[in-house]
Amino acid sequence: MKKIVDYLVNTKKQKSETAVKISASFEHHDDIQAELDAWIDTRSFPQSNALNIEGYTAADIAKLAPFMDGVGVYNFLVTLRERPDNGKRIIAEGFPRKHMKILEFISTLDQRLITTQSAEKIEQIYGIKLKDGIKQVLSKNPEGIFFEKEDVLCLLSCEEIVNASQDMNVDFIKLKLIPVIDTGDNDYIVYDIEKSSWCKFNIVNGVKFKQRETFKEFFIRATLIRERKRHIFKNDATAPFQFF
């Protein structure tokens, strides 16, 4: 898997720890790994004699999800092999991702109707009853949300939360943490079940930090910082969020 790690570190500028975790998903799939290695060399997907998993080749997935690079495409082939029903559902739904402004999401949290299906799946694997506050965050979010102008800020889908321990090689269930938002650099905003509060958690070093009583606190503080930056940089609306 050295070639995959080198590609992620040198080309995609991933941290080495992140690259190792991503490449680990190919560990038990030598045929998929071999085809990915070839893609790294050529930056093209094979048109003949290509792997066919559940009726799809890498070239097929690349056409359906043009935003994916080779690692994403072949990682999805792993998903198709290991969880075919989940993979086919994602394909059928067109690789859906909602986009919205983060403040729009925060401002409508209190008005969100709680949907039980997503919460029940998570309650079942964690063996707990979720409070309404976290249920509101998770409700009506079957496919995840990318927040506009925030390239690394992504609300995880219910399926991603349910499979997080397996996909990230982190035992969130044992840690009693529910990952909710990917903020980049291996950091996630998580719900801390034992403390009934929110914090950030780094999946590489296992450190919890920036504990908050409510989910909204991360973004209220971030908004204030952003407004200060807009003033400093002459109302530059592209100043990124920072979580304090």
Mean pLDDT of 137-153: 59
- Amino acid identity for residue 120 in this structure: E
Cα 79 to Cα 44: distance, rounded to the nearest angstrom: 21
Average pLDDT over the chain, rounded to an integer? 79
At residue 20, the pLDDT reads 84
At residue 37, the pLDDT reads 96
* 185-242 residue pLDDT tens: 788 999 999 999 999 999 988 999 988 888 877 766 554 444 454 444 444 444 444 4
Location of structure tokens 């044992």: 174
- Amino acid identity for residue 48 in this structure: S
Say how many CA atoms lie within 13 Å of 194 toward its Cβ.
8
At residue 106, the pLDDT reads 67
Cα 209 to Cα 198: distance, rounded to the nearest angstrom: 9
pTM above 0.85, yes or no: no
Lowest mean per-residue pLDDT among 2-6, 148-152, 173-177: 148-152
Domain boundaries, the chain: 2-92, 99-232
Pairing relationship of beta strands 98-100 and 145-147 according to DSSP bridges: parallel
Three-state helix/strand/coil letters over the chain: CHHHHHHHHHCCCCCHHHHHHHHHHHCCCHHHHHHHHHHHHHCCCCCCCCCCECCECHHHHHHHCCCCCHHHHHHHHHHHHHCHHHHHHHHHCCCCCEEECHHHHHHCHHHCCCCHHHHHHHHHHHCCCCCHHHHHHHCCCCCCEEECCCCCCEECCHHHHHCHHHHHCCCHHHHCEEEEEEEECCEEEEEECCCCEEEEEECCCCCEEEEECCCHHHHHHHHHHHHHHHHHCCCCCCCCCCCC
Query: Is residue 89 scored above 50 in pLDDT?
Result: yes
Mean pLDDT of 62-77: 87
Query: Is residue 142 scored above 80 in pLDDT?
Result: no
Homologous superfamily of 99-232: SMI1/KNR4-like (3.40.1580.10)
Cα 125 to Cα 122: distance, rounded to the nearest angstrom: 5
